[in-house]
């Protein structure tokens, strides 16, 4: 069931490649505007790089959250999935995994390339890649709860932002903190460990919370 959900969502995303490309373009444009606006001050660019890249990844991730359940809700597929004997949290987990592959993995892969604009060292770019690889699942998992709660509501995109942005703060702090620690010559390990722990906790509880929210929204 999990494999089928992931494969189905990946195929549907491939047919709507423009949605994925819009997320990537938004991320690249937001990150690239800061060096152009601030100027060639190397030390300043290095100091703001962790926060800029992580905030841009967070905002880009939110662009696609509204489509996580909305398309299946509109064509009735989601109601049929609720009638299957399989646990609903497996459906949610499969859709979250597909969302992460489609919306987050491209950002993780392209982040070191756009990070070169901030004159970051190779080690810092590697830590940036690892922090996003560990932290972006948190964005999809927590975002699924907000997407489920606002399913079918008018102005759901704004409500998702209000609901989940405060919950993204720990991931933003630990993810950007790992990169910043590398820049100032400290070990990024504590931040990455905390980010990994937050990802594990999110993977354990977010699918169950999103499942309960889906049942409430569909009722």
Of the pLDDT bands very low, low, confident and very high (cuts 50, 70, 90), residue 156 is low
Model pLDDT, residue 138? 94
Q: Is there a contact between 100 and 134 (Cβ–Cβ < 8 Å)?
A: no
Model pLDDT, residue 155? 62
Residue 53 Cα to chain centre, angstroms? 13
Model pLDDT, residue 40? 78
Mean pLDDT over each residue of the chain, to the nearest integer: 88
Model pLDDT, residue 21? 85
Residue range 177-212, pLDDT digits in tens: 999 999 988 999 999 999 999 999 999 999 999 888
Helix and strand numbers, DSSP H then E, in the chain: 10, 0
Q: What is the pTM of this model?
A: 0.89
Of the pLDDT bands very low, low, confident and very high (cuts 50, 70, 90), residue 164 is confident
Does residue 152 register a pLDDT over 80?
no
Does residue 131 register a pLDDT over 90?
yes
Residue range 37-84, pLDDT digits in tens: 887 788 888 889 999 999 999 998 888 887 788 778 877 778 887 777
CB proximity list for 51: less than 8 A, separation 6 or greater? 172, 176
Model pLDDT, residue 199? 94
How many Å apart are CA 117 and CA 179, to the nearest integer? 15
Angle among Cα 163, 143, 23 to the nearest 5 degrees reads 115
The DSSP secondary-structure symbol of 101 reads I
**Mean pLDDT (whole number) for 101-129:** 91
Model pLDDT, residue 160? 80
Residue range 80-102, pLDDT digits in tens: 877 778 888 888 898 899 999 99
Q: Is there a contact between 7 and 94 (Cβ–Cβ < 8 Å)?
A: no
Proportion of the chain above pLDDT 90, given as a percent: 42
């Amino acid at each position: 069931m999990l494999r089928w959900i992931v494969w189905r969502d990946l195929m549907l995303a491939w047919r709507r490649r423009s949605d994925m490309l819009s997320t990537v373009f938004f991320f690249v444009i937001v990150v690239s505007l800061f060096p152009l606006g601030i100027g060639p001050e190397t030390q300043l660019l290095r100091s703001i790089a962790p926060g800029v890249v992580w905030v841009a990844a967070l905002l880009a991730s939110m662009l696609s959250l509204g489509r996580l359940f909305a398309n299946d809700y509109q064509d009735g597929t989601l109601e049929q999935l609720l009638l299957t004997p399989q646990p609903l949290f497996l459906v949610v987990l499969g859709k979250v995994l597909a969302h992460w592959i489609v919306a987050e993995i491209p950002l993780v892969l392209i982040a070191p390339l756009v990070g070169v604009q901030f004159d970051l060292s190779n080690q810092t770019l590697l830590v940036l890649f690892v922090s996003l690889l560990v932290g972006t699942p948190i964005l999809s998992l927590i975002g699924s709860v907000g997407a489920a709660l606002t399913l079918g509501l008018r102005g759901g995109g704004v409500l998702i932002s209000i609901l989940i942005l405060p919950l993204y703060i720990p991931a933003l702090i630990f993810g950007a903190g790992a990169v910043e620690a590398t820049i100032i010559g400290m070990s990024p390990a504590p931040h990455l460990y905390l980010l990994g722990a937050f990802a594990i906790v999110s993977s354990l509880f977010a699918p169950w919370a999103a499942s309960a929210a889906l049942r409430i929204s569909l009722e």
